Amino acid sequence: MTLADGLSHGPDRVHDIAFGQFGIALIRKEDTLKKGREMGKNVNRKWKTSAKMISLGLGVSLVLGAGIQAQAVTVSTIAGSFHERGAIDGAGTDARFEFPQGILAAPDGTIYIADTGNDMIRKMNPSTKSVENVAGSDHRARYRDGVGANARFNNPEGMAISPDGKTLYVADSRNNMIRKIDLATKTVSTIAGHSFPSSGDGVGKEAGFETPRGLAISPDGKTLYVADSGNNAIRKIDLATNTVTTLAGAGKLMSGSADGVGVQATFHEPRSLAISGDGQVLYIADTRNNLIRKMVLATNSVSTLAGHPGFPGTLNGPGPDAYFYHPVSVTIDGNKLYVADGANADIRMVDLSTGVVSTVAGATLNGGVPIAGREDGSGVEGHFQFPGALTVYHGVLYVADTPADTIREVSF
């Protein structure tokens, strides 16, 4: 296994899940048995009996689970075609995407997709799987408010939607802005941030962000929460006044994994947010720390829910015993917190009533080596390339399989 340091686009290199921003690589399915045997020779058995550790080189080690953990679910491709990039509207696999890194289910079931590589916001009818553009124009990255295709985004990622389903909020990551779309008119406007990366609180465009990637909205629709990845901070926007306030995190130069209250807590590239049904707790994918964190909004108290800071791995179990490898997205369904565990090519679940972590989709070899693939199928036969975002609607998971340029469905 080699660590990738660039972004792979060609179909002849589909095994290189090469996210420069993540600094990771996965094994393609056809290589897994061979690589798994090779890695098995390097097991460090000083770890607990249910886990193994292998070295990936460059000072990186991976803690492996005891074997295949995936539940009997069905993974299917419902839109887009593997590594056939484009910005084409159409039904199901006739549609084309490029590097989708955001996905969100609206209250009516409409699936919104941040088609990041195309700088567009798309939508999909969950029944017909028909995909159409909402706003933005393919490969015309810049900044402009406007209507529909006349508006411009630059790497849109996380999204949130108002409880009435009328307004879509977008983390416009490379523009360092938070945008909103009036879904009735497709009018795009900017509610906070400016093009230059910064970190100051303030009103509207006076406030600064650096690569905001994740959004969540309060159940009453009054407050928008932002994972300000480049600033290692969690921010909030009062939607009545567009006032931006920092809630937690010590800033760009103070990355870390410390629990604490407000700015005493530290993060390392938080990328995704999910909010509890009662609006009291925010769940955070703290990506580069390989952690799932939670923040009590009444006190801004941050604690670690699951994972080991800095150590990647595949191990399931009680929160403190579990390991993740670049968790990039979270979504909540009752007492279940689903996690797109990107570099493990898995979908994990944290049972919020017990704190136990399990794998619900995707597969790992015996010994825990991640399998990256594009195959649809039941149980461990379904694979992902790199699940970059996920959302849930009526018990069904929808996953943006980012480098595969596809939208996948996980049904239980």
The helix (run of H) or strand (run of E) holding residue 99 is: none
d(CA 131, CA 94): 9
What would the pLDDT profile of 279-295 be if each residue is shown by its tens digit? 999 999 999 999 999 99
pLDDT for res 253: 79
CB atoms within 10 A of CB 335: 12
pTM: 0.88
Specify whether the CB–CB gap between 305 and 318 falls below 8 A.
no
d(CA 131, CA 123): 6
d(CA 183, CA 321): 43
pLDDT for res 61: 56
Residue the block writes with tokens 């596809």: 406
Tell me the β-bridge partners of 224. 217, 237
Going from N- to C-terminal start, the domains of the chain cover: 83-411
Specify whether the CB–CB gap between 264 and 254 falls below 8 A.
no
What would the pLDDT profile of 55-67 be if each residue is shown by its tens digit? 555 445 566 665 4
Instruction: Using the predicted structure, report yes or no on whether residue 96 has a pLDDT greater than 90.
Output: yes
Which of 15-24, 51-60, 114-123 is predicted most confidently? 114-123
Sheet of 243-248: strand order equals 202-203, 243-248, 233-238, 223-228, 212-217
d(CA 22, CA 70): 24
pLDDT for res 306: 98
- Split at pLDDT 50, 70, 90, the class of 225 is very high
pLDDT for res 251: 84
d(CA 75, CA 73): 7
Instruction: Using the predicted structure, report yes or no on whether residue 11 has a pLDDT greater than 90.
Output: no
Alpha carbon distances (Å) from 116 to 15, 93, 137: 21, 18, 11
pLDDT for res 393: 98
- Which tokens hold the place of 274? 């999910």
* 209-212-214-215 Cα dihedral, nearest 10 degrees: 40
| pLDDT above 70 coverage of the chain, percent | 82
What would the pLDDT profile of 170-222 be if each residue is shown by its tens digit? 999 999 999 999 999 999 999 999 999 999 999 999 999 999 999 999 999 99
d(CA 5, CA 24): 7
More confident position, 122 or 47: 122
Instruction: Using the predicted structure, report yes or no on whether residue 16 has a pLDDT greater than 60.
Output: no
pLDDT for res 379: 76
3-state secondary structure 230-250: HHCEEEEEECCCCEEEEEECC
The string over 200-238, giving b where at least 16 C-beta atoms fall within 10 Å of a residue's C-beta and e elsewhere, is: eebebeebbbbbbbbbbbbeeeebbbbbbbbbbbbbbbe
Nearest to 113 by CA among 412, 395, 411, 389: 389
What would the pLDDT profile of 230-246 be if each residue is shown by its tens digit? 999 999 999 999 999 99
d(CA 63, CA 368): 8
Instruction: Using the predicted structure, report yes or no on whether residue 51 has a pLDDT greater than 80.
Output: no
Instruction: Using the predicted structure, report yes or no on whether residue 310 has a pLDDT greater than 70.
Output: yes
Rounded mean pLDDT, 339-365: 93
- Split at pLDDT 50, 70, 90, the class of 321 is very high
pLDDT for res 63: 67
Rounded mean pLDDT, 306-329: 94
Rounded mean pLDDT, 81-85: 95
d(CA 185, CA 311): 46
- Which tokens hold the place of 240? 């009545």
What would the pLDDT profile of 260-280 be if each residue is shown by its tens digit? 999 999 999 999 999 999 999
pLDDT for res 42: 29
Mean per-residue pLDDT of the chain: 86
Specify whether the CB–CB gap between 157 and 214 falls below 8 A.
yes
Instruction: Using the predicted structure, report yes or no on whether residue 14 has a pLDDT greater than 90.
Output: no
The CATH number of 83-411 is which of 2.120.10.30, 3.40.1010.20, 3.50.30.60, 3.40.50.300?
2.120.10.30
pLDDT for res 68: 45
- Split at pLDDT 50, 70, 90, the class of 53 is low
- Split at pLDDT 50, 70, 90, the class of 255 is very high
Nearest to 199 by CA among 188, 207, 211, 191: 207
Alpha carbon distances (Å) from 5 to 18, 82, 203: 6, 22, 38
Beta strand 396-401 pairing with 387-393 = antiparallel
Nearest to 327 by CA among 291, 283, 274, 281: 291
